[in-house]
Amino acid sequence: MKRLRAFLIPCLLFFAVAGPLNAAATPEYIILVGGPSLMQWEKYKGAAAHDHWWANFVRAGRIRTEQLREKFGPDAKITWLVYKQGYVDRAAQEKQDLLGHIDSVRAKFNLNLVYFHDGAEVINYLNQGQPRDQVKVAFFEYFGHSNKACFMFDYSSAIESACKSWLHDSELARINRRVFTRDPMIRSWGCHTGERMSKKWRVALGTRMWGVIGKTQYMTHELPILSTAGGKWVY
């Protein structure tokens, strides 16, 4: 009994301390923004062309950020992870400083703006971008191109109708599931991500990811909406 007591007392002290620390962890709200296509590839596709407006994904992220600020206040920790090269390449086509436009959103909404190059850097930020024993991811939302197996950050930018920068569902196990809060909101507005990727997310990370069966359509002045072709949310 004395040995058992000697073992239990340190354990109880640990949970007494660890419980409040976990409950007091700072939540982080992450918006992942993919890059736009280039019109040099898309202009031949007629009605099927993507990204006539360079800011489809940025605008959607901005609207979501406004909603987060309204709900959680001016001091909530909101981070944008943005695929930089896509906007550098599209800036030459637009003849505008697109990174400057994105930075104006950062300044207006007091964001933590992080540019990335590939999926490995997204994973690295999730795992180590904040002290994860103190800052847990409570919200993670993706705006960008995708298929059923991956987020395609540079779809039809470097290569027509293909990509060189992605986060594939086979890589999800590299994310430490402890970076998330107990019941985070994880959602993808990418096309087809509810057809496979959301299931892989649940298996790898033990949390739900809401994805879409079918296609999504990005509108200029509102959040993206599901296509009228019958898209629906699943997890």
Q: What is the CATH number of the domain that holds 210?
A: 3.40.50
32 part of a folded domain: yes
Domain carrying residue 82: 25-234
E-only strand ranges, 99-210: 112-116, 135-143, 145-146, 150-152, 166-168, 180-188
Q: How far apart are CA 235 and CA 217, in angstroms?
A: 19
**Count of structural domains within the chain:** 1
189 part of a folded domain: yes
101 part of a folded domain: yes
Alpha helices in 117-184 (DSSP H): 119-128
The predicted structure's pLDDT at residue 202: 95
67 part of a folded domain: yes
Q: How far apart are CA 81 and CA 124, in angstroms?
A: 11
156 part of a folded domain: yes
The predicted structure's pLDDT at residue 7: 33
The predicted structure's pLDDT at residue 216: 83
Give whole-number Cα distances, 162 to 43, 150, 166, in Å: 15, 12, 10
Q: What are residue 199's phi and psi, to 5 degrees?
A: -70, -45
Q: Which residue in this structure is represented by tokens 């959602």?
A: 187
The predicted structure's pLDDT at residue 40: 80
The predicted structure's pLDDT at residue 14: 34
The predicted structure's pLDDT at residue 76: 97
The predicted structure's pLDDT at residue 193: 93
* Residue 234, burial from CB neighbour count under 10 angstroms (0-12, 13-18, 19+): middle
Could you list the pLDDT tens digit for every one of the 235 residues in the chain?
Answer: 334 334 333 443 333 433 333 456 899 999 999 999 988 877 667 666 678 889 999 999 999 999 999 999 999 999 999 999 999 999 999 999 999 999 999 999 999 999 999 999 999 999 999 999 999 999 999 999 999 999 999 998 888 778 899 999 999 999 999 999 999 999 999 999 999 999 999 999 999 999 988 888 776 555 655 443 445 656 5
The predicted structure's pLDDT at residue 12: 37
Q: How far apart are CA 13 and CA 136, in angstroms?
A: 23
